[in-house]
Amino acid sequence: MASTAPIEIGIIGGVGQRLELNDEEELRVRTPYGPTSTPVVVGLLGGKRVAYVIRRGVDSTIQPHLVPYTANVWALASLGVTSLITTTAAGGLRDSFPPGVFVVTDQLIDRTSNRPLTFYDRGESFELAPADPFDPSLRGLAAEALGDQGVRYRDFGTAVVINGPRFSTRAESRWHAAAGGDVVVTTLMPETTLALELGMGVVNVSFVTDDDAGTSGGPAESISADLVRRRIAQARPVLVRTVTELARRVPAGFRPSTAVPADLVAGVLARAAV
């Protein structure tokens, strides 16, 4: 029998990752923004009922700029999610963020374009102020989960989000680092701010797969999608344990520190699915 426990925790995984949940149930949630990247999988993880989407598809065939961010976030919010755990691959921009390190991201620099910006585009009087986009309580739990495993990690990091799918030029990497970036990713925006708009607290754990264009010290690697996939596969056990522990540690009934007015969220969630 499927559990009737509330679904308060959502997970958006990256780079073709797949979590094994207990009592799995696959849902095809209809949204006002079309289909989600993958069917939403609902089940038990860390003793909690969670809802899970693979951001770029099971085989990573959805390019970063084509991810249905609005559909993914809306679907999870419609199921009751208030805490969103995301994982991403990243390129390191500094010596202190080398390949092999895990990062509990605390800041974002958005360099994307032509992606959906907001749910509040139908005359609502609301402007999000995401000065600190990642929830401090959830970030603390993520750092604890990584620390308990004895892996290398940073409990902070500014992620520069680029359009992809191409990687950075050397000049762009230097520019991103000079702007204050620690790592570079392709999918955290607009995913993060869309989740904030629907009242979720967000925590991200990134894994540094490479020295982005060789700018973080030492000889430049030959960066490729295959290299990124191989290193993510190596990191997968740690990411799975971290996400599982995070789910276990999020308190029941958790609400983010900065919540959007409930009536605005309800208005977005009341929109007709297509």
Report the catalytic residues: 210, 212
- Alpha-carbon dihedral sign for residues 153, 87, 74, 252: negative
Confirm if 184 and 228 have CB atoms less than 8 A apart.
no
DSSP E strands, the chain: 9-13, 22-27, 40-45, 48-54, 83-92, 102-104, 107-110, 153-154, 158-161, 183-185, 201-211
Which residue's entry shows tokens 């540094």? 208
CA distance 171 to 169: 5
Confirm if 76 and 40 have CB atoms less than 8 A apart.
yes
